[in-house]
């Protein structure tokens, strides 16, 4: 088989899915640059196309396949013009879930790499041989560390830091444990070294600690949970900035963690605790390991101990067997709890999960209808909560200019990047991304605030 070395070619990379996948893409860019591959956002200049895919639910899989097909069409078109064919590489959750099958189904794909195998992409580029290739570990084990020198894709003033990978909770609807591997925490010192390194290289103002279940951090490596200690130490490094903890699990929140979030000035008064549902029967079948009563007790405790906290949650509609009455219980719960931030999803029937075999699958039409009801409910709650900000003074981290006439867009400590709303800021002086400004709120929208710089 002919082989060719493509190191030195430019790479066009598409990162799909959640921030955890984004961190993998950032690590990959660091590795590629070390191997002398430039990264370009102009597909016409690229000799290598890489898609880092997501395959969590149906919509994500569809988006991944559409993107691959688009790049395959580009490759074909260029080959048709007599140009050197680009290499098309597919990495991440989709190959991990479906093995080499996608490589065989789409002939333009040159290689597929699993969630822990993408670090071997430079080797493949160097020793590329014709014919499809699949590098997929049966049990993903890789976890990056502070030596990875990843390159940020996010604006330089904020970064996601993956503190652990994999999951051991085995919620009955979720494929993550099978595609991301066993729960594994990074070394505490490595996480802190990475934050220090990113802070020294960039104008970093905000770190978002992420994982599949960050509240269990340390359990595997240290045999006890060390998330409170990690958040507290990260806060010292990010003095005058923000540390935000995302992706917690309501069954694993400790008093110590709540205490750290309450006490540390640099830690955002924000907690992200997906509950998925509130009905005890459904929570049990979902294997969520919490009851409705325990969720209520936890929320009460958090709100008492962290005054002004913003709670984010996510819920699922149309889980198998969810009756109309159980769904209405969920709507009532959302109204009662008044979560400051809420994401809703329709249940996606994923093969090789326990829930996929359950009786009473809810029709797509019914799921969508329930989803709409939830969104409408939360829209009203979010609008009411936002009205409470009227005339208040809030600290805003500027993300970008919204126009060229002095309007900017940023976020308060209650808004995580990408998933929450933010604040439009009017200013007579020029502002730049990464600046903290004090803002008086003069108007409120459903999900955003509008304010003027003081
Ligand atoms: S905790 Fe989250 S990632 Fe883990 S199995 Fe449950 S839903 Fe999936």
Pocket-testing residue among 167, 220, 274, ligand 1, by greatest number of atoms within 8 A of Cβ: 167
What is the three-class DSSP state of 70? helix
Last residue of a domain, one of 342, 372, 387: 387
Ligand 1 centroid–CA 310 distance in Å is 22
Pocket-testing residue among 184, 212, 251, ligand 1, by greatest number of atoms within 8 A of Cβ: 212
Q: From the alpha carbon of 213, which atom of ligand 1 is closest?
A: 1
In this prediction, the residues of the chain whose per-residue pLDDT falls under 50 are 1-2
CB-CB contact of 321 with 268 (8 Å)? no
- The answer to whether residues 81 and 151 belong to one domain is no
- The answer to whether residues 66 and 210 belong to one domain is no
> What CA–CA distance (Å, rounded) separates 216 from 417?
23
Pocket-testing residue among 169, 248, 283, 347, ligand 1, by greatest number of atoms within 8 A of Cβ: 169
User: Quick check: CB of 322 below 6 Å from ligand 1?
Assistant: no
CB environment 16-27: b (16+ within 10 A), e (fewer): bbbbbbbbbbbb
User: Quick check: CB of 212 below 6 Å from ligand 1?
Assistant: yes
- The answer to whether residues 222 and 250 belong to one domain is yes
- The answer to whether residues 32 and 74 belong to one domain is yes
User: Quick check: CB of 169 below 6 Å from ligand 1?
Assistant: yes
Ligand 1 centroid–CA 339 distance in Å is 20
> What CA–CA distance (Å, rounded) separates 55 from 71?
18
Last residue of a domain, one of 387, 410, 430: 387
Residues 6+ away with beta carbon under 8 Å from 419:
312, 341, 343
- Picking from 118, 52, 49, 53, the residue whose alpha carbon sits closest to that of residue 84 is 49
Q: From the alpha carbon of 249, which atom of ligand 1 is closest?
A: 1
Structure confidence at residue 414 (pLDDT): 98
Structure confidence at residue 43 (pLDDT): 92
User: Quick check: CB of 205 below 6 Å from ligand 1?
Assistant: no
- The answer to whether residues 421 and 382 belong to one domain is no
- Picking from 270, 194, 190, the residue whose alpha carbon sits closest to that of residue 226 is 190
Q: Read out DSSP for 222-259?
A: TSS--HHHHHHHHHHHTTTSEEEE-S--GGG--HHHHH
- The answer to whether residues 40 and 69 belong to one domain is yes
Pocket-testing residue among 177, 180, 215, 276, ligand 1, by greatest number of atoms within 8 A of Cβ: 177
Structure confidence at residue 103 (pLDDT): 81
pTM of the model: 0.95
Q: To the nearest whole percent, how much of the chain has pLDDT over 90?
A: 87
Atom 2 (ligand 1) nearest CA: 212
- The answer to whether residues 382 and 400 belong to one domain is no
User: Quick check: CB of 253 below 6 Å from ligand 1?
Assistant: no
The total domain count for the chain is 3
- The answer to whether residues 232 and 311 belong to one domain is yes
- The answer to whether residues 340 and 373 belong to one domain is yes
Last residue of a domain, one of 135, 162, 182: 135
User: Quick check: CB of 213 below 6 Å from ligand 1?
Assistant: yes
- The answer to whether residues 287 and 378 belong to one domain is yes
Atom 3 (ligand 1) nearest CA: 212
- Picking from 35, 25, 23, the residue whose alpha carbon sits closest to that of residue 10 is 35
Does 140 map to a domain?
Answer: no
Does 293 map to a domain?
Answer: yes
CATH number, position 192: 3.80.30.20
Q: From the alpha carbon of 212, which atom of ligand 1 is closest?
A: 3
Structure confidence at residue 453 (pLDDT): 98
Atom 8 (ligand 1) nearest CA: 174
- The answer to whether residues 192 and 307 belong to one domain is yes
Structure confidence at residue 99 (pLDDT): 84
Any idea what DSSP says for residue 357? G
Structure confidence at residue 131 (pLDDT): 58
Structure confidence at residue 129 (pLDDT): 63
Residues 6+ away with beta carbon under 8 Å from 228:
254, 256, 257, 259, 260
Q: From the alpha carbon of 167, which atom of ligand 1 is closest?
A: 4
Angle made by CA atoms 270, 416, 255, in degrees to the nearest 5:
25
Pocket-testing residue among 55, 166, 171, ligand 1, by greatest number of atoms within 8 A of Cβ: 171
Structure confidence at residue 410 (pLDDT): 98
Does 141 map to a domain?
Answer: no
CATH number, position 414: 2.40.50.140
Domain range for residue 191? 146-387
User: Quick check: CB of 167 below 6 Å from ligand 1?
Assistant: yes
Q: From the alpha carbon of 276, which atom of ligand 1 is closest?
A: 7
Any idea what DSSP says for residue 51? E
- The answer to whether residues 190 and 247 belong to one domain is yes
């Amino acid at each position: 088989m002919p082989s060719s070395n493509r190191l030195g070619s430019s790479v066009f990379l598409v990162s799909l899915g959640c921030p955890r996948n984004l961190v993998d893409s950032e690590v990959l860019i660091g590795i590629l640059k070390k191997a002398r591959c430039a990264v370009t956002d102009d597909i016409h200049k690229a000799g290598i196309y890489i898609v880092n895919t997501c395959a969590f639910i149906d919509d994500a899989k569809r988006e991944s396949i559409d993107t691959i097909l688009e790049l395959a069409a580009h490759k074909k078109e260029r080959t048709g013009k007599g140009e050197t064919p680009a290499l098309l590489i597919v990495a991440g959750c989709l190959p991990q879930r479906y093995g080499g099958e996608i490589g065989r189904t789409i002939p333009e794909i040159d290689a597929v790499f699993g969630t822990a195998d993408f670090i071997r992409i430079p080797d493949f580029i160097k020793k590329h041989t014709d014919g499809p290739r699949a590098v997929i570990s049966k049990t993903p084990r890789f976890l990056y560390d502070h030596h990875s020198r990843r390159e940020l894709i996010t604006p330089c003033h904020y970064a996601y830091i993956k503190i652990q990978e994999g999951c051991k909770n085995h919620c009955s609807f979720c494929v993550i444990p099978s595609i991301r591997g066993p729960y594994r925490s990074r070394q505490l010192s490595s996480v802190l070294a990475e934050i220090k390194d990113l802070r020294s290289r960039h104008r970093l103002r905000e770190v978002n600690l992420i994982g599949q279940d960050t509240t269990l951090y340390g359990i595997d490596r240290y045999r006890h949970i060390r998330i409170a200690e990690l958040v507290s130490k990260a806060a010292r490094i990010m003095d005058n900035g923000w540390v935000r903890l995302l992706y917690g699990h309501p069954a694993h929140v400790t008093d110590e963690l709540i205490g750290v979030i309450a006490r540390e000035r640099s830690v955002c008064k924000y907690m992200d605790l997906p509950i998925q549902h509130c009905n005890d029967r459904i929570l049990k079948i979902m294997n969520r390991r919490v009851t409705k009563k325990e969720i209520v007790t936890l929320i009460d405790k958090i709100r008492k101990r962290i005054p002004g906290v913003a709670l984010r949650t996510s819920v699922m509609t149309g889980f198998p067997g969810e009756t109309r009455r159980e769904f209405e219980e969920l709507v009532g719960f959302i109204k009662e709890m008044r979560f400051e931030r809420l994401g809703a999803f329709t249940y996606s029937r994923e093969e090789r999960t326990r829930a996929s075999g359950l009786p009473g699958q809810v029709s797509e039409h019914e799921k969508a209808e329930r989803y709409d009801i939830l969104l409408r409910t939360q829209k009203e709650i979010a609008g009411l909560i936002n009205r409470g900000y009227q005339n208040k003074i809030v600290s805003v981290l500027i993300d970008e200019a919204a126009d060229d006439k002095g309007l900017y867009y940023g976020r308060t400590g209650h808004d995580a990047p990408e998933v929450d709303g933010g604040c439009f800021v009017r200013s007579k002086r020029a502002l730049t991304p990464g600046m903290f400004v004090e803002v008086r709120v003069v108007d409120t929208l459903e999900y955003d605030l509008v304010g003027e710089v003081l």
